[in-house]
Amino acid sequence: MSYYLNTTDEYYLHDKDSLNWELTVCNALQPEKSPCRKVLQTDSPFGCQLFYFLNDLFDFTGLKNILEVGGGFGYLMRDFLTLAPHLRVTMLDISPYLLEKQKSCLADRNVVFLKRDILSMKISELQHYDLAILNENLGDFPTLVAQSPEGQSDNFPTNHYLDKLTYFQQKYHLTLPPKENINIGALEVLDNLCLAGFRYIYLSEHSCEATLPPSLKPYIHFASTITPERISLKKHDEYTIKFSHLQQLAQAHNYKVIRGQFIDFLPLNCSDRVRTALRLSTPFSDEQEIIQQFVYDLYKYEYLVLIKGGE
């Protein structure tokens, strides 16, 4: 068994269309008239709902410096700054195109913009922040994809990633079976954030370990594959995240871990409209199809909130 390295950096560096077509949950809740907002108990954008959820776990009034990595169009941070204007924010993104979008979304706010790959950041450059936000982007970071020795891809991982593999196994006792794909980039980024001493870290992404409540199993189908699975998107592939590995790594760094699914802070209003959409094997309208995908995502996305020293 050997690995090839899946990456998305070339796509985000050069594709001017990046994210216009990819509907994240954050973007889906942006338009005031979004059909996705109507199926939730609270009709407000993603950033507001996440803010109130996090603010119950730790008090934002005690925070100063926030780093958001891969902020897409900047909507999440715009909501945070509306609710907590005292925050000093750094938006770090690899995509020049999306960084421009963030600049216009966050104009006249207390924000610094940094065009960098998070994997190129030294630990010393990450040390003065209180909170890190990484929403719906861990799957973009490099993945070691298992292939048989006669596999098709010759995009072999560099020694850097092979050394990291040994490091994670030895230092954090992660079990990394040879046939499994490994979220090596997500592990490396989280390790660096923990080593830099962030007090709070929020991460979210499509999970390969998410589960459904029994009542929804007849309507929504996803297998817990346990190994990170490929999601084929326009001109690039992403991989779902094995959150138990990230959890284990954070606990080894003495962080308290709160783990859950988007549905925890985006609760559904189980109206007839939602029930009808979910029951249909073939939706009749665009809105029903959107609702089906959105409800799927509310369960398929997992998050971690990490609190240093379990404050």
Ligand X SMILES: C[S@@+](CC[C@H](N)C(=O)[O-])C[C@H]1O[C@@H](n2cnc3c(N)ncnc32)[C@H](O)[C@@H]1O
**Site stretch for ligand X (CB under 6 A), options 18-26, 77-85, 195-203, 215-223:** 18-26
Residue 188 found at the interface with ligand X (CB under 6 A) = no
For the CB of residue 283, give the shortest distance to ligand X in the complex, in Å.
Answer: 24
Task: Using the minimum distance from each CB to ligand X, give the nearer residue, 69 or 249.
Answer: 69
Q: Which residue is nearest to ligand X (CB)?
A: 70
98 binds ligand X (CB under 6 A): yes
- Quick one: 238 or 278, whose CB is closer to ligand X? 238
Contacting range for ligand X; rule: CB under 6 A; set: 54-62, 134-142, 262-270, 291-299? 134-142
Query: What are the tokens at 295?
Result: 């409800």
5: contact with ligand X by CB under 6 A: no
For residue 27, state whether it binds ligand X (rule: CB under 6 A).
yes
Residue type, 167: Y
Token readout for 160 is 């850097």
Region from 86-94, 143-151, 254-262, 275-283 binding ligand X, contact rule CB under 6 A: 86-94
Q: How far is the CB of 113 from ligand X (least distance, A)?
A: 12
Q: Establish if 191 lies at the interface with ligand X (CB under 6 A).
A: no
Q: Are 51 and 66 in contact (CB under 8 A)?
A: no
26 is a site residue for ligand X (CB under 6 A)? yes
Residue 45 contacts ligand X per CB under 6 A:
no
Q: Give yes or no for residue 187 binding ligand X (CB under 6 A).
A: no
Note whether 71 binds ligand X by CB under 6 A.
yes
Give the residue from 22, 79, 88, 90 showing the smallest Cα distance to 49. Answer: 79
Q: 3-state SS string over the chain?
A: CEEEEECCHHHHHHCCCCCCCCCCHHHHCCCCCCHHHHCECCCCCHHHHHHHHHHHHCCHHHCCEEEEECCCCCHHHHHHHHHCCCCEEEEEECCHHHHHHHHHHCCCCCEEEEECCHHHCCHHHHCCCCEEEEECCHHHCCEEEEECCCCCCCCCCCHHHHHHHHHHHHHHCCCCCCCCCECHHHHHHHHHHHHHCCCEEEEEEEECCCCCCHHHCCCCCCCCCCCCCEEEECCEEEECECHHHHHHHHHHCCEEEEEEEHHHCCCECCCHHHHHHHHCCCCCCHHHHHHHHHHHHHHHEEEEEEEECCC
Nearer to ligand X, 112 or 270 (CB): 112
* Residue 93 found at the interface with ligand X (CB under 6 A): yes
Pick the stretch among 16-24, 32-40, 240-248, 251-259 that binds ligand X (CB under 6 A). 16-24
Which of these segments, 77-85, 116-124, 147-155, 296-304, binds ligand X (CB under 6 A)? 116-124
CB of 275 to ligand X, least distance (A): 27
- 72 near ligand X, rule: CB under 6 A: yes
Q: Residues interacting with ligand X, by CB under 6 A?
A: 8-9, 12, 19, 22, 24, 26-27, 69-72, 92-95, 98, 117-119, 135-137, 140-141
